[in-house]
Structure 1
């Protein structure tokens, strides 16, 4: 089993809540748009098996992917907390509550604000970045992060198959980076994975 029972229980509650909320909610901004479990499991395994220790998440929502990432960092004994950015204060507050419920609140630094502006102010370095917010602004966020990335770095982005036009700019920006290789895993909405060994 990848997760402790207590964390898994919280996640299963959130998965059910997210499905119900998104099915009835017409306003995209009020949807949770959480990762599918199979994508979250892959994300967790990649971070855990790669022994990542300085992880940045762009797009917290109510904390589903955040919980998976924080659990992976806990499993490898990382001392630095996960940094997670969310522009919606309400969703960030939900994430804080959910992290508390799962016993992982101390393992995450939740930041609220515009992702691009927030990224510009971060110090780094990061050895893994998960892009799961506004796909149009991801190329600019990547540009700002480049000097803050560890040489051995993993870049992850959701929605590679579900929103190919929106994510095309990000994928092109990654493809132009020297030393990076990438692929798309056909799980959930498509997870784009790039690494610089």
Structure 2
């Protein structure tokens, strides 16, 4: 196992991946953004969920070129490559350039950058967006600023699910008139 975090394969545990799949499919998500692809394990689960919901291909961001290439190959092997687009580069810069709206964002990168990414994405989120972040129990100090940023957002309900390394899930209730943007 590599000592440098950037070289490690940072995959979800299977129960976490299964829950992610269930959350996306059960809520009918159509436009999902994943920040932190690694070698594509969670991207495969999300791509399968979007195939099931009839959604757009997953947009997934990975900074490390070797991991991005491995993710593309793993998506191809899983037969899900047409349901996911792997983008290489700095996630914060890329978040600024992405078009929305996204109805689900899965934060699974360095956690420290997540608050800045969230701020950039806010105008690009659907009214009834689902925000999901991994490592809420395993890295509480690193994810604390992100959790505080979500807590400060109006109309959001959030919970911490004790699966894997801890999955933080937040949902923004749509406006009272029921006109959610998708």
| 1:155-197 per-position Cα deviation (integer Å, ceiling 9, x unaligned) | 0000000000000000000000000010000000000000012
Instruction: Please give the TM-score of this superposition, normalised by the length of structure 1.
Output: 0.87
Matches within 5 A, 1:40-79: 40-78=17-55
Is it true that 1:148 corresponds to 2:124 in the alignment? yes
* Residue number in structure 1 paired with 2:12: 35
Q: Aligned equivalents of 2:128 and 2:111: distance in 1?
A: 24
* Residue number in structure 2 paired with 1:172: 148
Q: Determine which structure has the larger helix proportion and give its number.
A: 1
How large is the RMSD of aligned CA atoms in angstroms? 0.7
Instruction: Please give the TM-score of this superposition, normalised by the length of structure 2.
Output: 0.94
Matches within 5 A, 1:107-146: 107-146=83-122
SS at match of 1:136: coil
- Give unmatched runs, 5+ long, in structure 1: 1-23
Distance apart, 1:126 and its partner CA: 0.2
- Further displaced range: 26-35 or 145-154: 26-35
Q: Aligned equivalents of 2:107 and 2:119: distance in 1?
A: 13
